[in-house]
């Protein structure tokens, strides 16, 4: 090798927090750019990695450097901005760069499939065009084929030729004679035709006009507007503007499957290709959608979390809908926040980013109020749907049966009698969360988790919601063998059961993970709801998102009290978001929505303030509390979690880790402590929390701890991970 040879710096999919150096393969085009895939030897394997840069020097001695086998892409599969986003993420989330890049691309690209849809066309060569066709006098089929190809500058593909009655043998003969050649073609990228904009005859309100006009060429906008205030309409109008300039839009949503109506509005509005990227796709479908986006063919790309890494050939705008939603943060492996990365991507690509929510996260509100984001407010609903009213039903000194108090039953009755629908929210699926022995107070627990087993009617089984563990319902107490076991607590199935007794003859629909397992069942229930008539809908989180149920005039939150017991500093923020999200599902023109919340703490000040003064005031106060207590967003946090099959090892590892000297007095360590649910899926879990007012200092500290961990013998006996800006602190 020449000592002047440039070395390739390649991110290889391994759990190691580093990239690797390789000698270039033979015949590497000089203009090969970072973002291209290479096949490289790794240990005894051959893996596909991504070039992230070049280097002249390496810590690895020259004689030990191995040569990359092969370049796989003629041009980068990841454009500069996306590569930069990935490298930034690997750094910020302290996650192995190879794994970050692997998670950023579709599975089939990891396996080496081409990054572009290529088709082969047959084209007449120069010689073919100039040749005297009489020389083909004795091969009339070849002559006919050549005549056809000469006339068509861009040639034809095999299918078209076959349709014209030309066989492959004929073509092969022409290729051998040098009269025709095969050429790889990528689908042409054309300007978007916006001939049909189906604007649903909507005239923007002046409030919406102001909002839309405030959106500029780059920067971040926080669009705060109650449900039904026309946020989606703003996204659509803003996207229309950028489509007219032939740019593409990326729209991130928490869960596509739950909100088919929203997706439909995007695809019905414009006659440009719209592609969806979500977990329900096959590998091939995902690759196709990715190619449509990255080649520039798709006008709108709608996707969940991981779509934030999808390349766009002509990026124009990013929209993050329901920006407060916890599912925008990845909860395992590479724990990134798709919302935060969307904002960063917007900066890298110099395009506008719209964050929208009825109940923005406190971080985003803080960013808007400190001027980092432009704040846009929609205070009114364009169609005359009255704002819903909220009421707390005091449960103190009041009996309930299976979750229903008397006043609640009366309220439901009234709404049903007036011909409308009622929505009942309870975020606990199954029938009863506790199986209890009244003799010895034994409860049925999961042996793999510190959690109770939930009784499910279907199959009469006990199910652990944390690990999926399943047991038949026992007849006798495991401890004292008494036979009179009791089912305590309420789940959606019990609510459904009770409603059928309370309101015989009224249709009850239940939407939760159990009732929607069958494909199409969610959609058919949504259709039944939309068709009207008195009906009660019971559901979990799944009904709190995105939908608008126009026939519902009463939303009920059966139980809010667990928020008041939570030790998580985000519990109140979540409670407020949940109440308003559930509340916002109801109401239609002419009939105002009504929201009833049952609580033993009707005077809880935060709850009262939310209802009386609205979300903004509520959020202001919570932010003030966060500031006073030095909590995010006024400090930055990271968690190191560890888990092990042995009861003590995870904790021991974290103790060893925390015993090391801090890099700066400006970092606070909390713990290590066992996790709230210490045992889960057979693993004992513990955690160590780092916080600092300086991001830079926090990250330096994490770098240091990772070094310790990588040299620790104990670390090899546990599974450990880092979560930067954790959403869940358990």
Choice between 17 and 436, CB closer to Zn ion: 436
- Maximum alpha-carbon separation in the chain: 104
> Considering the rule CB under 6 A, would residue 590 count as an interface residue with ligand ADP?
no
> Of 358-387, which residues contact ligand ADP (CB under 6 A)?
382-383
Of the ranges 59-67, 204-212, 620-628, 684-692, which one interacts with ligand ADP (CB under 6 A)? 204-212
> Considering the rule CB under 6 A, would residue 228 count as an interface residue with ligand ADP?
yes
β-strand 248-252 against 315-321: which pairing, if any? parallel
Structural element, H or E, at residue 52: strand 45-55
- When binding is defined by CB under 6 A, the residue of 163, 203, 501, 659 that contacts ligand ADP is 203
Q: How far is the CB of 543 from ligand ADP (least distance, A)?
A: 15
Q: Do 255 and 543 meet the contact criterion of CB atoms below 8 Å apart?
A: no
> Considering the rule CB under 5 A, would residue 440 count as an interface residue with Zn ion?
yes
Annotate 81-105 with b (16+ C-beta within 10 A) or e (fewer): bbbbbbbebbebbbbbbbbbbbbbb
Environment class of 555 (CB within 10 Å of its CB; exposed 0-12, middle 13-18, buried 19+): buried
- Helix pair angle (338-349, 80-92), 10° resolution: 140
> Considering the rule CB under 6 A, would residue 233 count as an interface residue with ligand ADP?
yes
Choice between 246 and 445, CB closer to Zn ion: 445
> Of 582-611, which residues contact Zn ion (CB under 5 A)?
none
Residue 88 contacts by C-beta under 8 Å, 6 or more apart in sequence?
344
> Considering the rule CB under 6 A, would residue 204 count as an interface residue with ligand ADP?
yes
Q: Which does 200 bind (CB under 5 to 8 A by kind): Zn ion, ligand ADP, none?
A: ligand ADP
Residue with tokens 């724990």: 335
Going from the C-alpha of 200 to that of each of 44, 204, 236, 270, 272, the distances in angstroms are: 60, 11, 11, 11, 17
Choice between 3 and 484, CB closer to Zn ion: 484
Choice between 33 and 265, CB closer to ligand ADP: 265
Count of all residues that appear for the chain in the document: 730
Give me the 203-242 binding string for Zn ion, x by CB under 5 A, dash otherwise: ----------------------------------------
Helix (H, G, I), strand (E, B) or coil at 512: coil
- Report the distance separating Cα 682 and Cα 647, nearest Å: 10
- When binding is defined by CB under 6 A, the residue of 34, 35, 49, 230 that contacts ligand ADP is 230
Of the ranges 230-238, 436-444, 510-518, 672-680, which one interacts with ligand ADP (CB under 6 A)? 230-238
Choice between 97 and 477, CB closer to Zn ion: 477
Q: Which does 440 bind (CB under 5 to 8 A by kind): ligand ADP, Zn ion, none?
A: Zn ion
| ω into 168 cis (within 30 of 0) | no
Q: How far is the CB of 641 from Zn ion (least distance, A)?
A: 18
> Of 472-511, which residues contact Zn ion (CB under 5 A)?
477, 479-480, 482
Choice between 189 and 210, CB closer to ligand ADP: 210
> Considering the rule CB under 6 A, would residue 225 count as an interface residue with ligand ADP?
yes
Choice between 284 and 589, CB closer to ligand ADP: 589
> Considering the rule CB under 5 A, would residue 449 count as an interface residue with Zn ion?
yes
- When binding is defined by CB under 6 A, the residue of 232, 294, 644, 687 that contacts ligand ADP is 232
Alpha-carbon 626 to chain mean position: 26
Q: How far is the CB of 492 from Zn ion (least distance, A)?
A: 20
Q: Which does 442 bind (CB under 5 to 8 A by kind): ligand ADP, Zn ion, none?
A: Zn ion
- Report the distance separating Cα 250 and Cα 315, nearest Å: 8
> Considering the rule CB under 6 A, would residue 202 count as an interface residue with ligand ADP?
yes
> Considering the rule CB under 6 A, would residue 273 count as an interface residue with ligand ADP?
no
Choice between 262 and 563, CB closer to ligand ADP: 262
Of the ranges 197-205, 332-340, 463-471, 594-602, which one interacts with ligand ADP (CB under 6 A)? 197-205
Q: How far is the CB of 441 from Zn ion (least distance, A)?
A: 7
Q: How far is the CB of 379 from ligand ADP (least distance, A)?
A: 11
Choice between 131 and 199, CB closer to ligand ADP: 199
The dihedral sign for the CA sequence 76, 81, 82, 84: positive
Choice between 98 and 228, CB closer to ligand ADP: 228
> Considering the rule CB under 6 A, would residue 191 count as an interface residue with ligand ADP?
no
Residue 430 contacts by C-beta under 8 Å, 6 or more apart in sequence?
454, 455, 456, 463, 465, 491, 492, 493, 514
Q: How far is the CB of 201 from ligand ADP (least distance, A)?
A: 8
> Considering the rule CB under 6 A, would residue 254 count as an interface residue with ligand ADP?
no
Tokens of 344: 């960063």
- Report the distance separating Cα 131 and Cα 126, nearest Å: 8
Alpha-carbon 529 to chain mean position: 27
> How many CB atoms neighbour CB 230 within 10 A?
24
Q: Do 420 and 534 meet the contact criterion of CB atoms below 8 Å apart?
A: yes
Of the ranges 172-180, 270-278, 430-438, 650-658, which one interacts with Zn ion (CB under 5 A)? 430-438
> How many CB atoms neighbour CB 46 within 10 A?
11
Annotate 316-355 with b (16+ C-beta within 10 A) or e (fewer): bbbbbbbbbbbbbbbeeebbbbbbbbbbbbbebbebbbbb
Q: Do 294 and 76 meet the contact criterion of CB atoms below 8 Å apart?
A: no
Choice between 233 and 497, CB closer to ligand ADP: 233
β-strand 683-692 against 636-644: which pairing, if any? antiparallel
Of the ranges 203-211, 424-432, 592-600, 646-654, which one interacts with ligand ADP (CB under 6 A)? 203-211
Structural element, H or E, at residue 289: helix 283-295
Annotate 406-445 with b (16+ C-beta within 10 A) or e (fewer): eebbebbeebbeeebbbbbbbbbbbbbbbbbbeeeebbbb
Choice between 238 and 292, CB closer to ligand ADP: 238
| φ/ψ of residue 232, rounded to 5 | -60, -35
- When binding is defined by CB under 6 A, the residue of 229, 563, 577, 692 that contacts ligand ADP is 229
Of the ranges 123-131, 215-223, 431-439, 657-665, which one interacts with Zn ion (CB under 5 A)? 431-439
Q: How far is the CB of 149 from ligand ADP (least distance, A)?
A: 51
**Residues at the site binding Zn ion, with contacts judged by CB under 5 A:** 437, 439-440, 442, 446, 448-449, 464, 466-467, 469, 477, 479-480, 482
**Residues at the site binding ligand ADP, with contacts judged by CB under 6 A:** 200, 202-205, 208, 225, 227-233, 382-383
């Amino acid at each position: 090798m020449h000592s002047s040879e440039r070395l390739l710096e390649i991110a290889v999919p391994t759990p190691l927090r580093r990239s690797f150096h390789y000698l270039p393969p033979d015949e590497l085009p000089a203009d090969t750019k970072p973002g291209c895939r290479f096949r490289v030897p790794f240990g005894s394997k051959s893996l596909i990695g991504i070039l992230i840069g070049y280097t002249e020097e390496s810590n690895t001695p020259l004689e030990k450097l191995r040569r990359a086998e092969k370049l796989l892409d003629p041009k980068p599969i990841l454009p500069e901005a996306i590569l930069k986003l990935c490298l930034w993420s690997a750094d910020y989330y302290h996650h192995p760069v190879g794994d970050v890049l692997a998670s950023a691309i579709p599975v089939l690209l990891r396996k080496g499939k081409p990054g572009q849809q290529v088709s082969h066309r047959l084209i007449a060569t120069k010689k073919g065009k100039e040749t005297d066709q009489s020389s083909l006098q004795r091969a009339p089929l070849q002559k006919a084929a050549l005549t056809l190809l000469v006339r068509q500058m861009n040639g034809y593909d095999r299918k078209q030729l076959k349709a014209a009655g030309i066989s492959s043998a004929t073509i092969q003969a022409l290729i051998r004679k040098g009269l025709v050649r095969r050429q790889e073609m990528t689908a042409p990228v054309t300007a978007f035709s916006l001939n049909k904009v189906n604007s649903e005859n909507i005239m923007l309100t002046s409030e919406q006009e102001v909002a839309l006009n405030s959106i500029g060429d780059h920067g971040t906008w926080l669009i705060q507007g109650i449900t039904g205030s026309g946020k989606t309409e703003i996204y659509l109008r803003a996207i229309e503007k950028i489509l007219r300039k032939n740019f593409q839009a990326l729209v991130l949503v928490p869960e596509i499957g739950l909100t088919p109506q929203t997706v439909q509005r995007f695809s019905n509005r414009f006659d440009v290709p719209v592609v969806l990227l979500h977990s329900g796709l096959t590998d091939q479908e995902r690759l196709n959608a990715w190619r449509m986006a990255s080649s520039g063919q798709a006008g709108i790309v709608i996707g969940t979390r991981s779509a934030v890494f999808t390349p766009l050939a002509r990026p124009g705008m990013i929209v993050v809908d329901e920006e407060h939603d916890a599912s925008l943060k990845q909860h395992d492996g590479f724990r990134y926040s798709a919302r935060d990365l969307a904002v960063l991507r917007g900066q890298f690509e110099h395009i506008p980013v719209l964050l929208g929510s009825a109940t923005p996260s406190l971080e985003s509100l803080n960013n808007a109020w400190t001027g980092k984001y432009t704040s846009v407010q929609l205070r009114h609903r364009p169609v005359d749907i009255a704002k819903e009213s909220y009421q707390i039903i005091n449960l103190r000194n009041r009996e309930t049966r299976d979750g229903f108090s008397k006043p609640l039953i009366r309220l439901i009755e009234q709404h049903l009698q007036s011909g409308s629908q009622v929505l009942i929210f309870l975020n606990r699926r199954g029938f009863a969360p506790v199986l209890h022995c009244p003799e010895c107070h034994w409860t049925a627990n999961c042996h793999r988790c510190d959690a109770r087993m939930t009784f499910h009617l279907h199959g009469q089984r006990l199910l652990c919601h944390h690990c999926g563990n399943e047991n038949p319902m026992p007849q006798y107490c495991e401890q004292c063998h008494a036979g009179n076991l009791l089912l305590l607590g309420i789940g959606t199935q019990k609510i459904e059961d009770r409603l059928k007794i309370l309101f015989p003859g009224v249709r009850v629909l239940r939407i939760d993970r159990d009732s929607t397992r069958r494909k199409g069942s969610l959609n058919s229930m949504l259709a039944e709801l939309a068709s009207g008539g008195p009906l009660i809908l019971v559901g979990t989180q799944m009904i709190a998102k995105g939908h608008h149920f126009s026939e519902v005039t009463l939303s009920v939150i059966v139980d809010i009290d667990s928020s008041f017991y939570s030790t998580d500093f985000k519990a109140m923020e979540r409670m407020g978001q949940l109440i308003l999200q559930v509340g916002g599902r109801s109401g239609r023109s002419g009939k105002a929505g009504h929201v009833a919340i049952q609580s033993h703490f009707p005077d809880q000040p935060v709850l009262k303030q939310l209802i009386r003064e609205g979300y903004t005031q509520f959020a202001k106060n919570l932010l003030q509390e966060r500031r006073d207590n030095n909590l995010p967003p006024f400090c930055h946090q990271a968690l190191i979690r560890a888990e092990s099959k042995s009861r003590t090892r995870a904790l021991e590892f974290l103790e060893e880790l925390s015993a090391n000297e801090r890099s700066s007095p400006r970092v606070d360590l909390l713990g290590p402590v066992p996790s709230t649910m210490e045992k889960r899926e057979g693993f004992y879990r513990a955690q160590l929390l780092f916080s600092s007012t300086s991001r830079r200092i926090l990250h330096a500290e994490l770098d240091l701890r990772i070094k310790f961990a990588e040299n620790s013998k104990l670390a090899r006996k546990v599974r450990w991970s880092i979560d930067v800006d954790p959403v869940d602190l358990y």
